[in-house]
Structure formats: structure tokens, C-alpha cells
Structure 1
């Protein structure tokens, strides 16, 4: 079922939704850019549709809305522990098709990768409803078409701004509010069909030859191990644990889960001073192989969704898209 909304009608819809949900979308964050006096498109809670940025890609992914950078898990003292309280409200997130595909990748890691689901991820994920933002034109760094992630059917509703009105294809009418506030019409979401850049994705990489490839030395000489590429990535899930002891009572504290990265020095440190992948090039090789080989071997889809955020974020202008493309063309050349 499709619906048409004026801005006023959509804002009434949002007001009704906000009674039971926190609604997040990409917005313009004033003064939050990489340089002084610059802005940034990132995720924040919204109250009106005019705050949503439709014509720019968000710098950070929507992942942080339901998989927080820092997540308090439980409190503890000398007598026991108590679980951290979770907001009773659900979450509605506006995001693009590639980001919905990334949510599905996170689900595979956090919910399907082991004997049981990750409890702390699952209880927030179960509160989440997705509204896909139509992508009619590609952004410069996107390569989602090459990764097969430019479309999705996994959403409660779609939304696009067209000729001053908002059009939605609704698969799940949340609380019946879309029908209540909207005017019924025929609507289908529009997804981008081509990107400004494309990549040749390798499908049969041989680990031994990839490990010996000199491109990792090249990238290693440029990478500064800042971890920005993994922080902005919508499908990366690595974390570390921190126990925080309170100054006023050292016997009390809390355990937090905090995002971490395979690209940062110390992530693979072990007892006894052992560590894997000390070299930056080796770390990048591990990340790339996870994105385009290891994950697919286990779950049947590539981990990388081609959003291009890592290319935008890297201060050394290292492009994951170009790296994937180089490996793919080398593989094709070796077969030829």
C-alpha cells in the first residue's frame, strides 16, 4: 500500500510515532565536520521531516542508533550485578538500501554466529523498525551495485521527497499511523541502478597468493592505523569490554561494550606479549579478506555493502573500492 504526505501530514505522522518510538534519520549536524566551522551529515533523533537530509550520504552509518559506540551492559558490586535498563521506546531509523543490507550482515554476526544470539544486541535489535530512503542517484564513492546491495525488500516503509511531497510504500503500517495520516496512492520505492564507480569483485581468491601480494606493503606504508574506516563502516561489529570502577566506591562499577577495530594497534594483543598482525598492511589484508571472502564463505553474502564511507573517511585516501577492484582484475588476469 502506498501513501502520499504533505510535509505537515508527515510531521503529524512523526509526532504520533514519537509517542512509542525514537525516530532517527540523517540530519545536518552544525559545526560537527572534520574541519572547523564545517557541518556533517550524521544520525540524530528527529521531530520533523524537514530535518532529514535526502540529498547527501551520512558520514557515519545508522549502526550507532541500535548498536551504540559505548553500551552499558550491567552494574556490579561486591554482592552481585544488575542489568542496565533499556529505554522502553522502540526505534525507527531512516536509512538507505545498502545500510539495510548492512544491518542484515550485523544480524548474521551478532545473532547467527555461534550457539546463541548476542543478548545485548538482540534486545535493541528487536526494537528496531527500518524506513528505507529511496536512492535515485548514486553518490561519488558508492559501489553498491557491484556488491549487489543497491536494493532491499526488508523495510516497514519507504520514503522519498518528490515535487514537494513525501511518498511511501508501506509494507508494515506501524501502529496503523501511515494510513491514518496519509493519502492512498500507488507507490514503489526507487533504487539506484548504476554507480559512478564500479568494482570487479573477486570470487575465487587463493589465500596463499593474496597473502603474498605486494599491494599490502604498499597500503601498509600509507595506512596510519587510525581505524576511521571501520568506525564509519555499517557492517563492522568488533568491540572490546571495559570494566569501569567508580572513584567514590572502588567496589562498585559497570561493564561497558565499546567499539573496537582490527585496524588499530593492540587489538590482537594476547597474554604473554603475543600479538597477531602487527603490520598495518597485514591488518588491511585481514579486513579486506573478511569483507569479500571469509564472511561470504560462512554466510553466503559479501560483508562489504559498497557504501563507500571508508573511502570518504580515510585521511590517507586509501580506497577499499580500488583495492577490491585491483584484486578482482588480478584474479581475472590470472585466469585469462
Structure 2
């Protein structure tokens, strides 16, 4: 069933939904961008449909709603600890197909990896419902079609914006009653079929090729280009690495809170062990680790899809203009080179 809503009608819908849901969507923050007098788009709570940014890809992904950059997981004193509380309302998140697919990958990491669920992620994730924002054109850094992340059926509702307002389709019976009384109009979701940038997805045939790829000279260029700032992983919709930090209160040195804080495999010291040993000491080592994790290791572990969903945020946020899809293509060419040399 499809529904046609004007913006005032959509605002009224949001008002009714707010009794049960917190609504999150891409939202514009003026003058808060990376450079002077620039804006930024990131996920935040919205109360009106016109607050949602439709014509620009968000600079950061929807994962910040479920697993924020900084999150208190419990409070402690010298005698006891108390787990942090979470909200009671459900979460309704407006997002595009690639980001919905990214949540599927995050779910595997947080909920299925090793058979132990991360309770701090799960207690939020269980309250989430998706509203698919129809995406048929994409942007110049997108390569979701190549990664197979341009389509999804995992949504409670889908929405299209046009000059007359918003069109919704609502397959979720739990959400559908909220649309009763609005004008009905047929609506079938469309998906993007071709990006401006096409990526050749490499397949590594065996461990011998993998070991040779790790030593390939293609990685060395990143020693001169990558500054190990971690911007790519913060913006990434599938990165899940974090560390924990204890915050001791100034007022009471025996009380504080433990926080989970987003971390990055691209930052020096990420893999530092007791005694000071590091496994990846150069930008080239760290870039190789990240690329192989996104386009080999995850799929090798879980056996379904590559971890990268082709949202392109890493390329857009990189201050050194390193293109992740171009790097994947270079890796595909390197694999062909290695395989051809083995056949000689």
C-alpha cells in the first residue's frame, strides 16, 4: 500500500510517531563542516520532514545512532557498578540501501561473531526500524552497485521525495496504522542500477596469492599519501572497532564511568601490545589491513558478502583524496599480476 503525504501531513505523521519512536535522519548542521564556512550532514533526531536532507549524502553514516562515537557502558564506585540505561522508545531511522546493508554487516560483528552478542549494541539495535530513502542516482564517490549493496528488502517503510511531497510504502504491519487516513497512491521502490564509478571486485583464489599480495609494492604508495588520521574509518558505515576508556570524576577519585570509544585501525598504535610491539607500523601496513578486511577477510569469515557496501564516504572524507574504489581496482590488478606470474 502506498500513501501520498504533503509536508504538513508528513509533519503531523512525525508528531504522532514521536509518541512511540525517536526519528533519526540525515540533518544539516550549518557552519560545522571540516573547512571554514562549510556545512556538514550527519544523523540526528528530526521532528519535521523538511529537516531531512535528501539531495546530499550524509558525511557520516547512520551507525552513529546505534553505536555512537562515545558511549558510556557502565558507572562505577569503589564498591559497585551500574550498567548505563538506554532509551525506552523505538528508533525510526531514515537511510539509504547501502546503509541498511551496512547494518547487516555490523550485526554479524556485534551479534554473531564468536557466538556472543554485544549487549550494549543489541539493546539499541532491537529497537530499530528502518525507513528506506529511495536512491536512484547516487553520488560521484558511490560504488554500491559493484558491491551488491544497492538493493535491500529490509525496511519497515520506504519513502520517495518529489515536487508534491512524500510517497510512502509501508510493508511493516506495526507501522502501517500510523498512515491510516492519508491519501492512498501506488508506490513501488526503485533502486540505482549503475554508479559513475565501477569497481572490479577481486577474488583471492588461495592463501599463497594472498601472502604475495600482502607483499606487493602497490601498498608502498600509501606511505607517502596516507597520514593515518582515521577519518576514513570514522565515516565508514561498517567499521566497528572500539576501545574502552575509564573517566574518573574530579569530585570523587573513587567513582567514574567506563566509556566505549570508536577506534581506528588506521591510527598508529591501534594494535600496540603490552611491551610495545606493533604488528602494523607504517601507513602502508595499515592501509593493506583495512582494504583486505573490507574486500576479503570479512567474506572469508562469514561466507556471504564483502564488508564494504560502496557508500564512498571514506573517499569523500579523506584529506589526502585517497580513493577507496580506485585502491580496490589496483588490488584486483595486482592479483591478476600475481596469478599470471604463477602460471608462467
Normalised by the shorter chain, which TM-score bucket? Answer: over 0.9
Q: Deviations over 1:148-188 (max 9, x none)?
A: 00010000011111232211121114444443253222211
The residue number in structure 2 matching 1:128 is 128
- The answer as to whether partners of 2:213 and 2:338 remain within 8 angstroms in 1 is no
1:313 pairs with 2:317 = yes
Q: Which residue of 1 aligns with 2:333?
A: 329
TM-score normalised by structure 1 residue count: 0.97
TM-score by length of 2: 0.95
**Does 1:228 pair with 2:206?**
no
In 2: Cα distance, 1:156 partner to 1:324 partner? 33
Q: 1:212 aligns with which of 179, 203, 215?
A: 215
Is 2:84 aligned against 1:84? yes
SS at match of 2:24: strand
Between 169-178 and 140-149, the greater mean CA deviation after superposition: 169-178
Q: For residues 242-261 of structure 1, what are the structure 2 equivalents within 5 Å? A: 242-261=245-264
Structure 1 residues 223 and 181, CA gap change in structure 2 (3 angstroms): farther
Helix, strand or coil for the counterpart of 2:295? helix
Following superposition, the deviation at residue 330 of structure 1 comes to: 3.4
Which moves more between the two structures, 47-56 or 228-237? 47-56
Mapped partners of 1:103, 1:302: distance in 2:
13
The equivalent of 1:148 in structure 2 is 148
The 1-side partners of 2:122 and 2:308 are apart by 22
C-alpha separation in 2, matches of 1:281 and 1:245: 36
Kindly indicate whether the alpha-carbon contact (under 8 Å) linking 2:158 and 2:189 is maintained by their aligned counterparts in 1: yes
What residue is the counterpart of 2:187 in the other structure?
187
Q: Does residue 53 of structure 2 align to residue 53 of structure 1?
A: yes
Matched position secondary structure for 2:50:
helix
Whole-angstrom distance in 2 between the partners of 1:26 and 1:181: 27
Question: SS of the residue aligned with 2:248?
Answer: strand
Q: Which residue of 1 aligns with 2:306?
A: 302
> Secondary structure of 1:24's match?
strand
Equivalent residue, structure 1, for 2:283: 280
Compute the displacement of 1:333 (Å): 5.2
Aligned to 1:15: 15
Q: Secondary structure at the match of 2:167?
A: strand
Match of 2:244 among 228, 241, 244: 241
Unaligned runs of 5+ in 2: none
Matched residue count: 336
Contact 1:13 1:177 in 2 (8 A): no
How large is the RMSD of aligned CA atoms in angstroms? 1.3
| Cα distance change of structure 1 residues 210 and 333 upon mapping to structure 2, 3 Å threshold | closer
Q: 2:317, 2:311 → 1: CA distance?
A: 12
CA shift at 1:237, angstroms? 0.1
Q: How far apart, in 2, do the equivalents of 1:212 and 1:333 lie?
A: 13
Paired residues of 1:12 and 1:181 also in contact (CA < 8 A):
no
2:27 paired with 1:27: yes
